[in-house]
Amino acid sequence: MLAIAFLFCVFLGRFCYVQLFWRQDLVYLALDQWTREIPITPERGKIFDRNGELLAGNESAYSVYARANAVKDAAETAQTLSALLGISFEEMKAKLSDRSRSEITLVKQAEKSLVQRIEGSGLAGVYYSRDNRRVYPYGSLAAQVIGFTAMGSEGTTGAERFYDSFLKGKKGEILYETDLVGAEIEGTSASYLPAEAGMNLKLTLDYRIQAIAEEVMGRTLAATSAKAARCIVLDPQDFSVLAMVNLPSYDLNEPPRDDMDALNRLSRNCIVSDIYEPGSTFKIVTAAADLEEWRKGNASAFSPDHIFPSSRTRSVDGTTIKCWSDHKNGKHAEQTLADALNNSCNPCFVDMALSLGKETFYSYLTAFGFGKATGIDFSGEAVGMLIPEGSVRDCDLARIGFGQTIALSPLQLACAAASAVNGGCYYEPHLLREVFSDDGYVSFRAEKKLVARTVSEETSRLLSSMLEGVVREGSGKHAYIEGYRVAGKTGTAQKYENGQIAQGKYVSSFVGYFPSDAPRFLALIIVDEPQGSYYGSTVAAPCAKEIFEGIIRARNIPPEGA
């Protein structure tokens, strides 16, 4: 009796499970047996710039399918389709005769006119559904940031890939009732399960600033016969990215899919994913660390009034570190910190780094985000290369002070410079502004995220006044704009190949911003291997001036005191 009762409970429990918990799965399996489905591709979410300008959209296209089991005459159907689709008769007939697969994709991304001709042929077993074709109205604009999709559906690079879960939507289906062999049953009606459109993105990019920066950097790339030209424009108040330029580039509507090497090279966002030795633009960080320690009362730090000795070299650990040039009409004169920034004097920054010491200097390198990712919403971010604190020697520390023996991404340097001059706030950089649906519902809106405090507001103001002097009367004077308070720092770095200096190969750069007392636009310019003149002061600084002048016109920014 107990055994019978136990078995009864087992069967009752199984019965309840099948009826109550397994019901939906069994209904789906049964539905799958007597129906065949045609997938409906959802409309992919659109991508806009911060002003609502469309950067990535869609246009209608169609996919054509066939079911071999439902095709009545494979030879006749193949003859008609091969003529319409441009596929050989033998290949088409082989597809239509393959009854091992319930559904065969004949063509994707087809024009409506083609689908209408197929439909007019009255071919049994041939179906079609609406698809999407991704279109980019501005072609190559911000190509590495926006990215592209695989045949209009799945994000492959850039924001298209990073935010694919928002953009792709949910697929729908058209269900047809079929018999046991998969042939459609006459007299039955199809069921329609609509697709759900993807969500739209509004990026922080400003297409006007992006276009200005690309135009300026494109002319510089051509004029200098450089290997590459790059630029990032940030808003220092929240680290939102206003522009990212990577040249040479490509047209998003026609990516070179048949040349994978070219595709990978041209679609790479080097601002985020590549690293380099920054050279003298890094002196902003060293100066900020020194001024902050002086403000705190650290006796090892140099005050703004300190006079650095008039020597063109420094000897550290048996190695001689030279300045890039003599100053003051051939004589390397005594200099203050402001003079050292104006003249971009390496020995003065060697003195600062060594005087601060390894522990203190490294605490600032950490605060400024070096050796770790910034956290930007983009795939493949580089973390840079920073010698571990326990392994760094004095000669390494000395070179880090003026931007050698450290490698970082352009994004890392732009963020570090922005935090040094915006009052000492290091925010998480971001490209996404909001996610919203076609009906206007906003599901996500980005807010600025404070990551660290780097220096005090007092230090930031003092440093900014010195960097304004660099543009007004120092090495950055080619970025000067009458009536606007532009500040910045030039950089000219040697390149290394196989551990040795590559003769004649340089990276020219400039990081600048305005207005200097309340920065709203910060630009980092990088020109890789320019031919002829290669100094950051003559190659990169003029680019920043042109970009800032373009921003002033686009935003209608009045001059100081107007």
Exposure string for 331-347, b = 16+ CB within 10 A, e = fewer? ebeebbbbbbbbbbbbb
* Amino acid at position 25, single letter: D
Model confidence at 313: pLDDT above 80: yes
Domains 36-203 and 207-555 share a fold: no
- Check residue 121 and give its pLDDT: 77
Q: How far is the CA of 60 from the CAs of 57, 64, 201, 297, 408, in angstroms?
A: 10, 14, 20, 67, 43
- CA pair distance 8, 152, nearest whole angstrom: 56
Q: Any idea which of 110-124, 254-268, 339-353, 369-383 has the lowest mean pLDDT?
A: 110-124
Query: Measured between alpha carbons, how far is 62 from 44 in angstroms, rounded to an integer?
Result: 14
The pLDDT assigned to 448 comes to 94
329 dihedral zone (left: phi>0; alpha: psi -120 to 50; beta): left
Domain boundaries, the chain: 36-203, 207-555
Q: Please check the confidence at residue 189 and state whether its pLDDT lies above 70.
A: no
Q: Are 283 and 353 in contact (CB under 8 A)?
A: no
Q: In the structure, what pLDDT confidence band is assigned to residue 147 with cuts at 50, 70 and 90?
A: very high
Specify the CATH number for 207-555; select among 3.40.50.150, 3.20.20.70, 3.40.50.300, 3.40.710.10. 3.40.710.10
pLDDT in tens, 216-250: 999 999 999 999 999 999 999 999 999 999 999 99
- In the prediction, which pLDDT does 548 show? 98
Task: Give the pLDDT of residue 16.
Answer: 83
CA dihedral sign, ordered 265, 271, 275, 278: positive
Fold classification of 36-203 (topology level) = Penicillin-binding protein 2a (Domain 2) (3.90.1310)
State the pLDDT confidence band at 180, using cuts at 50, 70 and 90: low
Nearest residue to 292 (alpha-carbon basis) of 380, 193, 419? 419
As a whole number, the mean pLDDT across the chain is 89
Q: Return the active site residues.
A: 280
Token code pair at residue 233 = 């424009």
Distances (CA, A) of 524 to 261, 417, 511: 27, 9, 4
**Secondary structure of 457-495 in HEC code, one letter for each residue:** HHHHHHHHHHHHHHHHHCCCHHHCCCCCCCEEEEEEEEE
pLDDT band (50, 70, 90) for residue 112: confident
Buried b (16+ CB within 10 A) or exposed e, 251-281: ebeebeeeeeeebeebbebbbbbbbbbbbbb
* Tokens representing residue 246 in the block: 């990577």
The predicted pLDDT at position 458 comes to 97
* Residues 6+ away with beta carbon under 8 Å from 359: 389
Q: Among residues of the chain, what percentage have pLDDT more than 70?
A: 92
Indicate the range of 36-45, 222-231, 402-411 predicted with least confidence.
36-45
Question: Which whole-number Å values give the CA distances from 556 to 163, 544, 548, 550, 551, in the listed order?
Answer: 33, 18, 12, 10, 8
Band (pLDDT 50/70/90 cuts) for residue 191 is low
Residue 519, pLDDT > 90, answer yes
The bridge status of strand 450-453 relative to strand 313-316 is: unpaired
